[in-house]
Structure 1
Amino acid sequence: MRVSILAEYGLPEGVSLVGTLAVLVPIALVTVALRWLPFGFVRALKGSDLFGLLGRMMPVGVMVVLVVYTLSGQSAAPGGIYAALLAVVATLGLHWLRRDSGLSILGGTVVYLVLVNLVF
């Protein structure tokens, strides 16, 4: 039985190496360009007032979106919305006491997981 040369590359019959490379090379170039693009913007906008404002406001905005998304997704689970609300209160309380974002997020996550798995 004669084995096709394409089988050496793991390609099925009817698929050429040139066709595969014609698809993969542009995909690779676009991927690299998209990964590089944010760093190019950072260099170009480093001294901008808008960029400074976004740097201060974006973390808060992202956290608000995550909290709203989490709370809206918990309404289907039995007791999930109560566990999520209590975890938000615990997170806010920890942050008010310690002013440490990492501790607040970790503490809120632990409270939520304990409530969902052991209480509700």
Structure 2
Amino acid sequence: MTPFQIIATMLAIAAGCQLTRWLPFLLFPENKTPPKIVQYLSRVLPPATMGLLVVYCLKGVRWTAAPHGAPELMAIAAVVLLHRWKGNVLLSIAGGTAVYMALIRLVF
């Protein structure tokens, strides 16, 4: 790519990123109630996305061979327990990742 193409690509990516960040606030200002479909999607998409990510993370686990998915299941349990305890998504994800990494490096 030429330097111009690189700069144009970077600007297009930055503009696209900013547009996706600002567009919801422009379409649905605070003083206006969002449409029912948007309210519904805001309620159902986060759990659906998390479920999809769990399925994706477990797709490569060999359940018939040792360690039979034990580190993955323990990490999932850690995420659930941390989230129930503190309700902090960042803590839950970081804690579950730390548990998983410690298990696969030190135990299994």
Tell me, yes or no, whether TM beats 0.5. yes
Unpaired stretches in structure 1, ≥5 consecutive residues: 1-19
Which one of the candidate residues 23, 35, 39 is aligned to 1:41?
Answer: 23
Aligned pair 1:53/2:40, yes or no? yes
Q: Which moved more, 1:90-99 or 1:22-31?
A: 22-31
Q: Where does residue 98 of structure 2 map in the other structure?
A: 110
What is the root-mean-square deviation in Å for CA atoms of aligned residues?
3.1
- The separation in 2 between residues aligned to 1:82 and 1:119, in whole angstroms, is 10
Return the index of the structure with the highest Cα Rg.
Answer: 1
- The separation in 2 between residues aligned to 1:105 and 1:21, in whole angstroms, is 39
Count how many residue pairs are aligned between Structure 1 and Structure 2. 102
- The separation in 2 between residues aligned to 1:106 and 1:117, in whole angstroms, is 16
Which one of the candidate residues 75, 79, 83 is aligned to 2:62?
Answer: 75
Report how far residue 84 of structure 1 moved: 0.4
Aligned-pair identity in percent equals: 32
Evaluate the alpha carbon distance shift between residue 100 and residue 36 of structure 1 in structure 2; reply closer, same or farther with a 3 A threshold. closer
Q: Which moved more, 1:31-40 or 1:101-110?
A: 31-40
